[in-house]
A and B are shown apart, each in its own frame.
Chain A
Amino acid sequence: MKRNVAIIGGGQTYHAARRHDVDQGEMVNEAVRAALKDARMTMDDIDAVFLGNMEFFEGTHLTDCWLAGSAGAYGKPGMKITTGGTVGATIIGAGMHHVAAGLFDKVLCIGFEKQEEGDTGAILSGVAHPLYGRSMAGAAVGYFAMMGTSYMAAWGAKEEHAAMVAVKARQNARKNQYAHLKLDITIEDALNSRMLAYPVRMLDMCPASNGACVVILGDEKTARDRCKKPVWIRAMDTAHNEQFEIDWRNVTLTKPIFSTACAARMYKRLGVDDPKKYFDVFEIYEPATWAEMVWYEDLGLCSRGEGFKLMEEGATAIDGPIPVNPSGGVLSTNCIGASAMLRVWEAALQIRGDAGGHQVPKEVNRALATAYGGTNWTVMTALSSSTED
């Protein structure tokens, strides 16, 4: 990177299925003010604003324009970013590149979603190929159902393993004051929840949440001058797949796909030999239980086909050796436009030691955040307490 870039502040709204008390602008504004307070800044300090959400998910277009006042973006440079499920991380990527390039010193990044307002299923069907996919659209549940079936057949995993992921996420969420689904559930509860599309049950899926997240980025001078605990973005990368490469259903595949290609590039750049030792905590984008176990493998935390064993051992528990999603993750909170930003922000909070009730009980210096969008792409962000690595 031309210039080092740090996360110098951030904030989030609480996340819930209903936010009837606020309109979209008022909800976004809550997160903007929380982030400015965290960074001890005012809107006058901010050089540019980058904002994003899922296209048309709340029945509104051009959200950068008509949320300009609430976002604090009036008269400031910036742009709207829209990359689906990954958008929250892509917004940070856009902000990071602008700061790294020297164009701006202080950038405010906003990801939000008010999922309850729009017909998200209908809008999402527009993601499927008009000629070959749309009439067969199964939305997110269908995608992860295929993954789960393939995963069990290939490796001998059981529905119980997915249930363990479901329980871990919601029990971690109970420690996170901002999380949506703070559910005190057991393996039995997960296994007995309503079947949606085999093997995906209700508790195997993320909720539809409303909420916003804001991250403020600064150049090295700003970060060192005015931030007590800057969290440095050491690397960001992204990779895509075309939707008819059905690699995501075939979990035994060994050729590089979006997730493995992205991780490999990033690890090479950072000199990572063993990611589970290099990173102290992971915040991954797991819209479904099965995806979490596949992520373990894609990120190289274990060998191919061993992800469910990692789960079984409790290795990825909040107090385990490889904590994954101490925040409760996407399974507990999915305001999509904010979700990938929340992964980065939660990872940053862990490095700062400011995660509160869901702070992992060990020293955290490095963290990895992933994003995930249908149809098959990712944005990964490596964070560190130091600019030395």
Chain B
Amino acid sequence: MENKFVQAPFEVDQHITAHSNYFAGKMGSKFYVALRDSKEILGVRCKTCSKVLWPPRETCGRCFSLLTEDDLVKIGPGGSVVSFTRVHYSEPIHPDVDAPLVYAVIQLDGADSGMTHLIGGVDPEQIEIGMRVTPVFIENRNGNILDIVYFKPE
């Protein structure tokens, strides 16, 4: 066998830290203030499409109608599980919950689109599509989607 000297690959460590602030805007601000101060969940109704969308947004993507704060409507708080999965590993980007955790798409009552959130307070074996759930709020809410701890069976 040929005895060849191999140079170890040379690498230079690169690290970029980038902090950002997202301004919630017209609709997002209304949503988070209602969630934080009143434990209310807001969607927006497009009169043209007769659809209630979550999250609330200023333009209906489908028909390009301009929606305003007057079109905001309360949805939920209860809803139905559209789909779900049980996650058996942990990642830094996951919410601060130990695996296994259950992610679900929940269609809140009165809404035509789903919200992704956690399911808790129930044996995962008992969760099924179509199951009725309701949000559990934390005590000290600061305007974050995790002001809802998880959804539990009604």
Which residues from chain A sit less than 8 Å from chain B, CB to CB?
A: 19-27, 29, 33, 42-43, 56, 58-60, 68-70, 72, 74, 114, 116-119, 122-123, 125-126, 130-131, 134
Check B61 for interface membership: any CB of A closer than 8 A: yes
The residue in chain B whose Cβ has the minimal distance to the Cβ of A130 is: B14
The residue in chain A whose Cβ has the minimal distance to the Cβ of B58 is: A26
Are the C-beta atoms of B14 and A117 separated by less than 8 Å? no
Nearest 4 CB-CB pairs, A to B?
A59-B20, A23-B25, A69-B61, A119-B18
A23–B26 Cα distance when bound, in Å, is: 7
Are the C-beta atoms of B25 and A134 separated by less than 8 Å? no
Which residues of chain A are near B25, meaning CB under 8 Å?
21-27
Known contacts A69-B59, A74-B62; decide if A123 and B14 are in contact (CB<8 Å).
no
Q: A29-B59, A58-B22, A70-B57 given. 13 additional CB < 8 A pairs?
A: A21-B26, A22-B26, A26-B58, A27-B25, A59-B20, A68-B61, A72-B59, A119-B17, A119-B19, A123-B16, A123-B18, A130-B14, A134-B14
Which residues of chain A are near B26, meaning CB under 8 Å?
21-23, 26
Check B126 for interface membership: any CB of A closer than 8 A: no
CB-defined A-B contacts under 8 Å, sample of 30: A19-B23, A20-B23, A21-B25, A21-B26, A23-B26, A23-B27, A23-B28, A24-B25, A25-B25, A26-B25, A27-B25, A33-B66, A58-B20, A59-B21, A60-B22, A69-B59, A69-B60, A70-B58, A72-B59, A116-B21, A116-B23, A118-B18, A119-B19, A119-B20, A122-B16, A123-B16, A125-B16, A130-B12, A131-B12, A134-B14
Which residues of chain A are near B27, meaning CB under 8 Å?
23, 26
Are the C-beta atoms of B59 and A25 separated by less than 8 Å? yes
Check B6 for interface membership: any CB of A closer than 8 A: no
The residue in chain B whose Cβ has the minimal distance to the Cβ of A44 is: B64
The residue in chain A whose Cβ has the minimal distance to the Cβ of B62 is: A74
Which residues of chain B are near A74, meaning CB under 8 Å?
61-62, 64
Are the C-beta atoms of A43 and B64 separated by less than 8 Å? yes
A123–B64 Cα distance when bound, in Å, is: 33
**Hey, what's the 0/1 contact readout for B36-76 against A, CB within 8 Å counting as 1?**
00000000000000000000011111101010000000000
Known contacts A22-B25, A43-B64; decide if A118 and B20 are in contact (CB<8 Å).
yes
Are the C-beta atoms of A59 and B22 separated by less than 8 Å? yes
Which residues of chain B are near A68, meaning CB under 8 Å?
61
A217–B70 Cα distance when bound, in Å, is: 34
A35 to chain B, nearest CB (A): 13
Check B24 for interface membership: any CB of A closer than 8 A: yes
Which residues from chain B sit less than 8 Å from chain A, CB to CB?
A: 12, 14, 16-28, 57-62, 64, 66
The residue in chain A whose Cβ has the minimal distance to the Cβ of B22 is: A117
B26 to chain A, nearest CB (A): 6
Q: Of the candidates B21, B57, B58, which one forms a contact with A117 in the assembled complex, judged by CB atoms under 8 Å apart? A: B21
Known contacts A29-B58, A33-B66, A69-B61; decide if A23 and B22 are in contact (CB<8 Å).
yes
A72–B19 Cα distance when bound, in Å, is: 29
Which residues of chain A are near B16, meaning CB under 8 Å?
122-123, 125-126
A237–B7 Cα distance when bound, in Å, is: 44
Are the C-beta atoms of B57 and A25 separated by less than 8 Å? yes
Which residues of chain B are near A125, meaning CB under 8 Å?
16
Which residues of chain B are near A131, meaning CB under 8 Å?
12
Which residues of chain A are near B14, meaning CB under 8 Å?
130, 134
Which residues of chain A are near B61, meaning CB under 8 Å?
68-69, 74
A134–B14 Cα distance when bound, in Å, is: 9
A214 to chain B, nearest CB (A): 14
A135–B60 Cα distance when bound, in Å, is: 45
Which residues of chain B are near A56, meaning CB under 8 Å?
18
B67 to chain A, nearest CB (A): 10
The residue in chain B whose Cβ has the minimal distance to the Cβ of A28 is: B59
A24–B22 Cα distance when bound, in Å, is: 8
Which residues of chain A are near B17, meaning CB under 8 Å?
119, 122
Known contacts A33-B66, A131-B12; decide if A25 and B58 are in contact (CB<8 Å).
yes
A116–B14 Cα distance when bound, in Å, is: 25
Q: Of the candidates A23, A59, A72, which one forms a contact with B18 in the assembled complex, judged by CB atoms under 8 Å apart? A: A59
A118–B16 Cα distance when bound, in Å, is: 13
B25 to chain A, nearest CB (A): 3
A38–B59 Cα distance when bound, in Å, is: 19
